[in-house]
Structure 1
Amino acid sequence: MATTYHFNKPIFRALLSRLFCIAMLLFFTHDAYAQRDKRMIRMAKIEVDTNQLEAYHAALLEQMHTAIRKEPGVLSYYAVADKKDPSKITIMEIYADSAAYKRHIATTHFKKYKTTVEHMVKKLELVDLNFIGSAKQPGL
């Protein structure tokens, strides 16, 4: 014996309409987020000759400050050294997008930095990262 189901057509249409709206919202929200955050984030793990740390720091700081001052696509730099081994330096670089990064590595100041430090750097590892989120104190 066949079972027949009856449903209220206006309620079914309203439910279907809401499900469609939710699906579209999820689709476009994800798409908008992906389009909005085109930043390129790179971490450079560097090992520097311990006898040349001071000269390396000077070259790095000059390059970082020049890039921030001259290039709107270079959003931020953070450079830190391992407390136990100061020759191990990690740099977090954030660019507006990959095009900004490509422009950056073609600049005179970046090429000067690379030439200056090439004999100081013993090891270099570049790691590209995806942004998940951030938190900071107000005003920082």
Structure 2
Amino acid sequence: MKFSLMMCFGAKNDRRRRADAFFCQDQQIMGHVWSEQVDAILAAGRNLDGIGVRNWALAREDALLALERLREIGVAVLGGDVYVVSGKAVVPSYDNWHCDQDAGEVAADFLSRSIDSARSYISSYGSAEAMFAIVPSI
């Protein structure tokens, strides 16, 4: 999402104006978290910016659907983190998984293996309330 600097400098208070300008510049520089296409897939989840993580946490079924959509566009998954809902907040469980590309492994094989690995981890994770932040290979 991009903001115009004109809109950002609309605040009357100088301190607020500086904060708005910083926010707007940050948004323009940062742009997408991963890529427009990947962000559109993962944004079905709950935004984690509020806890300092530039990603989204998805419920199990949404995460599994996201994995298939990532497979369709040819994006492998390097791993992910597990979050739980505590009251109204989403907090890390400190559980995670990862998948590294093997030496000499062709990209198509890694794509398939990484998605299958993520699918297996998410499907078998014990808590039904868990949410999953997926880290794509971008």
TM-score, length-scaled by structure 1? 0.28
RCO higher in structure (CA 8 A, sep ≥6): 1
> What's the TM-score, normalizing by structure 2?
0.28
Larger radius of gyration: 1
